[in-house]
């Protein structure tokens, strides 16, 4: 977005009058400007098919070396903003929730900033809220050779339990198949336990995000 500030950029992606903007995450938008990043080639925008993109990127840039590289994500938000604004989507357009499939990848090392992140059911509308917006089923776009992370699977389990089905779509082949999940209490508990043992670095101010200490440092809790 030429000459835009962080608030303008966020408002472009999450217009206040859209019901789905309640779930958009503003944290990554705070880094533009003054952070200057190389902008990637513009990918296809889901909005061109009539969907309202809802960015859920709940990560940060830390001091020094970041474990998870979010430059491409942030760059895409910038380079696609003008294109999104020009489409003039209706405020009631159905949502396309955007997350990063690599959000949990990487192995912490000393002096790196652990900015991995995960999603929780409360990061998305409930099944009841989806149905109130006219949505009875959802499509998860992901390559079949990309493992589904347990945090997202927990979200789909909750939706299935409450009557919103999921379909998996592989964008590389166009193949579709119904997502089958165990919606029992045990299935939900299994995915929640993942968050307890995922090894994400806790931040002293709350939430995730912290520098992995060197072996001789104190007060950081050791290795992730």
The confidence score (pLDDT) of residue 89 equals 95
d(CA 126, CA 130): 6
Q: Based on the fold, state whether residues 57 and 125 are members of the same structural domain.
A: no
Task: Say if 172 falls within a structural domain.
Answer: yes
d(CA 164, CA 131): 8
> 85-105, pLDDT tens digit by residue?
999 999 999 999 999 988 888
> 54-77, pLDDT tens digit by residue?
999 999 888 778 888 888 888 889
Task: Say if 215 falls within a structural domain.
Answer: no
pTM of the predicted model as reported, rounded to 2 decimal places: 0.81
Domain total in the chain: 2
Q: Are the C-beta atoms of 30 and 55 separated by less than 8 Å?
A: no
The confidence score (pLDDT) of residue 109 equals 83
Token couple for 123: 């990061």
Q: 21 is in which domain, residue-wise? A: 1-113
Strand residue runs (E) in the chain: 52-55, 65-66, 95-98, 112-114, 137-141, 165-169, 176-178, 210-211
């Amino acid at each position: 977005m030429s000459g835009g500030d962080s608030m303008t950029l966020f408002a472009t992606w999450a217009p206040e009058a859209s019901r789905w903007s309640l779930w958009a995450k503003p944290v990554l938008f705070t880094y533009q400007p003054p952070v200057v990043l190389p902008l990637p080639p513009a990918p296809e925008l889901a909005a061109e098919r009539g969907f309202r993109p809802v960015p859920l990127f709940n990560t940060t840039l830390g001091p020094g070396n970041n474990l998870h590289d979010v430059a491409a994500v942030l760059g895409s938000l910038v380079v696609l903003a003008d294109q999104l604004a020009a489409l003039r989507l209706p405020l009631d357009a159905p949502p396309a929730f955007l997350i990063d499939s690599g959000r949990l990848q990487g192995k912490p090392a000393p002096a790196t900033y652990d900015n991995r992140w995960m999603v929780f059911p409360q990061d998305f509308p409930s099944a009841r809220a989806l149905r109130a917006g006219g949505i009875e089923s959802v499509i998860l776009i992901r390559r079949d050779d990309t493992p589904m992370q347990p945090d997202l699977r927990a979200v789909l389990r909750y939706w299935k339990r409450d009557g919103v089905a999921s379909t998996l779509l592989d964008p590389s082949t166009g193949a579709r198949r119904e997502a089958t999940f165990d919606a029992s209490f045990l299935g939900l508990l299994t995915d929640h336990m993942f968050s307890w043992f995922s090894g994400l670095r806790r931040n002293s101010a709350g939430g995730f995000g912290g520098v992995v200490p060197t072996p001789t440092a104190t007060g950081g809790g050791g290795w992730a």
